[in-house]
A and B are shown apart, each in its own frame.
Chain A
Amino acid sequence: MRLLKLVPDDTNIDFMRWRNLALVLSIAFTLASLALVGLRGLNLGIDFVGGQMVRTTFAEPVDIEQLRGRIASLNVGEASIQAFGDDRTYQIRLPKPDGPEAAANKVVSKVRGLIQREYPTAKVAAGESVSGKVSEELATDGALAILFAMIGIAVYIWFRFEWQFGVGALVTLFHDVSMILGFFALTQFQVDLNIVAAFLAIVGYSLNDTVVIYDRIRENLRKFRKMAIIPLLNLSLNETLSRTLVTSLSIMLALAVLLVLGPDVIFGLTLSILIGTFIGTYSSIYISAPILVWLGVTPDSFVHDPDSAEAPQAA
């Protein structure tokens, strides 16, 4: 049996030739993403802004305007009704009511009661109510956790490699995170707590990819003391290209299957991880590597104490 070789043995792509073009594109996309987030905003779920949500699956297609009218008659604020997955499942979202917390809890019950009364065949799949205080905490806690995790990683990479690599990993992460945020601003997919998990998975993957490429660059910097940095980066990227493709393709393959066959609840989650994998793969080639050139990494960077960075052997 002949084995599949995605990358022929003698591949030598001049990745770094397009590094300036890639840089311009990356900056443009990053700025566009941030602008999108700023202008359109993210469709934050009740987890982060507080409010009430009732998700219902109706037995037959339902007249949305009629449903909206019925909810309006409850006097619980303006409802936003969104299709969720298919045309029978809808998410009814209500604003955070003013006044004491106790009032907030009644809203979901009222809507639930209304649905059971008016649409006896419908099933209320989920009901959530998050108070303003809790949602603020969830948002700040989540953001802080991600921030600290990013800083911790950068420090580790700085110790294991050189400071340029730590900065490179941070910039790469920043790029990936803004692109994902831009993706959510563009599609207006709802950002809830589960999406935070997707976010973490993307960051974890991108980081893994970056570290693997950095590892090879470090190895080559020690091996080829005389080689200029640009050809050395090209060599490292080409040597790891096969691994980059096999790994990202197998992950994307698995995610694509989940996207098509998996449950509707995780559609947004899976799609964002899939896109994130793609962005992460791109950025470890075109952000984390060229940034080393701009930060002035040379073969001498590792000369002063070559032994301190020796990895323990995983037997």
Chain B
Amino acid sequence: MLDFPRWKIWAVMLPILVGILLAIPSMMPASQAARLPGWMPDARINLGLDLAGGSHLLLEADLADAAKQRLQSMEDQVTTDLRRGDPRIDIGDVSTSGGRLSFMVRNPNQVDAAVERMRALTQPVGMTGSRDWDVRVVDSTRVELTSTSDGNERALKDAMTVARDVVRRRIDPQGTKEVTVINQGARRILVQVPGVEDPEALKSLIGQTARLEFKLVDLTADPALVAQGRAPAGSQVLPLVDGGAIAVSRRVMVSGDQLVDAKQAFDQDGQPVVTIKFNAAGARRFGRTTQENVNKPFAIILDDKVLSAPNITEPILGGSANISGSFTVETANQLAISLASGKLPVKLNVIEERTISAELGADSIRKGAIAAIVATIAVILFMVVTYGRFGVYATLALIVNALLILGVMAIFNATLTLPGIAGFVLTIGAAVDANVLINERIREEVRRGRKVLDAIETGYREASTAIFDANITNTIAAALLFYFGSGPIRGFAVVLLIGIITSVFTAVNFTRMLVSLWVRRSRPRQLHI
């Protein structure tokens, strides 16, 4: 017992000192923590949204929409490839109904060539040798492309990765805010933005697919038929944002994919507009089309709604243009962000939404902190009254334990939530229990007539079996909860796992050091416990 060599003291004190050092930044307000000297650690524990306030959104990909978009882009690829390729293959009756893309090859001799070209368009997926589309011939002249399940999976995975980045750019264009945007499962994205109390702006920002297209207005269309929703061949009827409808050519002149930048600005009348800038290819195409169609109106279409249909007064060659369409500064700004961040590859639905006002969070934290301090003092008094000197050691261990948990959480940049606090309370309880077990055991051994050193030694040894078993059980529980649980259950389990380790360390090793240093110094003849 007296044998507590210097290296052992260091082995106990070093992790404790490091842990306390790590815990310090998390215990002061952010503004003060920033002013700490450079050698201090600066990792802090994040407060969960339930404590800090903010918005939490869970987005889920609309699979039907994803499949539709994939089919559409395949259609574009197929028609361009067959028309541009050599030899040119004439096709007709292109259909995308029933989730399949099919077309008729006009020249029956070219069917095999068409199938060959289609096969070349498909991509291998994974290791199994399967491809993303099945190509087959039906009714001897019809080629049909069906998406394989592997292909769907791959497409979704790619789309979700892009979608995550797009969402992040939309919420946080400058990349400076502390937002969380992560993929969750195969088709979900979790978004957490601290401090935002009104999720509406956030939702409309994320929700905009922002598919921007420029198409020529079909001037040949009969207004009466357009009003009925019928358009001439090669055209389509689209709604105007200000009401009414208009017929536009199906062919896309230029699309938003070719943008490099978009900003909110004002036109010469002081109206908010969005200024867009095309990349080189887009600028060329835009210039050529406007040159060919001077004095004709063209439609600016966002998500299949016509924002405006101005006349082309002169060719626009500089590669930049203004989009006007009865915007407010705010809506123009939102559109600019959506356009600049790129197109969402898939429609996202909000399936879970939580907003907690920061005020509620701050109030909870203040009351919780006061209650925690009072509760700690009450437990300390109880311990000291019950075990005297050993109670003092036990409370020192408890305080060090709490600091160590904070320190370890800070290293991992962990997030503290309400369930996390429940985990914290449980580990503090377990730490109290470990000390109680040891002290009760020492009491017992003293009662049985053992000498001071012997009683302490036996007390620690016998109590450690129970402490060990109790903590392993909790470790198993915490590990399984972490593995199978989600969200709040995980928050609980993480704190519990950290707390189990620190509490065994402090309740057993740290108090043992304190006790043996005391015994060595004052050689007590009797134990007052």
Contact = CB atoms under 8 A, between A and B. Distances in A.
A242 B443 contact: yes
Contact of A250 (B372, B379, B388, B504): B379
A141 B357 contact: no
Contact of B353 (A108, A144, A242): A108
A52 B11 CA distance: 53
Name the prevailing secondary structure of the B interface residues. Answer: helix
B359 interface: yes
- Bin chain A's interface residue count: 35 or more
B466 A193 contact: no
Nearest to B528: A3
A266 B365 CA distance: 11
Contact of A211 (B365, B387, B432, B473): B473
Interface stretch (B318-326, B331-339, B481-489): B481-489
B468 A312 contact: yes
A2 to B, nearest CB: 9
B481 A200 contact: yes
A255 B375 CA distance: 7
A258 B375 contact: yes
B349 A101 contact: yes
Given A101-B350, A123-B357, A197-B419, A141 B474 contact: no
B184 to A, nearest CB: 11
A314 B505 CA distance: 9
B128 interface: no
Nearest to A198: B422
B378 A257 contact: yes
Interface residues of B, number: 89
Nearest to B488: A193
Interface in A87-137: 100-102, 105, 108-109, 112, 123-131, 133-134, 137
B371 A258 contact: yes
Interface stretch (A29-37, A59-67, A201-209): A201-209
Interface in A201-242: 201, 203-205, 207-208, 211-212, 214-216, 219, 239-240, 242
B356 to A, nearest CB: 5
Interface in A1-32: 1, 3-6, 9
A255 B421 CA distance: 12
A129 B57 CA distance: 9
Contact of A3 (B357, B476, B529): B529
Nearest to B391: A3
Contacts of B355: 126-128
A55 B197 CA distance: 13
A247 B432 contact: yes
Given A200-B481, A219-B465, A254-B425, 11 more contacts: A1-B388, A128-B354, A145-B485, A152-B480, A194-B418, A194-B422, A200-B422, A212-B437, A247-B432, A258-B425, A265-B364
Interface of A: 1, 3-6, 9, 55, 100-102, 105, 108-109, 112, 123-131, 133-134, 137-138, 141-142, 144-146, 148-149, 152-153, 156-157, 160, 193-194, 196-198, 200-201, 203-205, 207-208, 211-212, 214-216, 219, 239-240, 242-243, 246-247, 249-251, 253-255, 257-258, 260-263, 265-266, 269, 273, 311-315
Nearest 10 A/B pairs, CB to CB: A197-B419, A145-B485, A263-B364, A261-B371, A257-B375, A215-B466, A145-B484, A262-B371, A311-B465, A254-B375
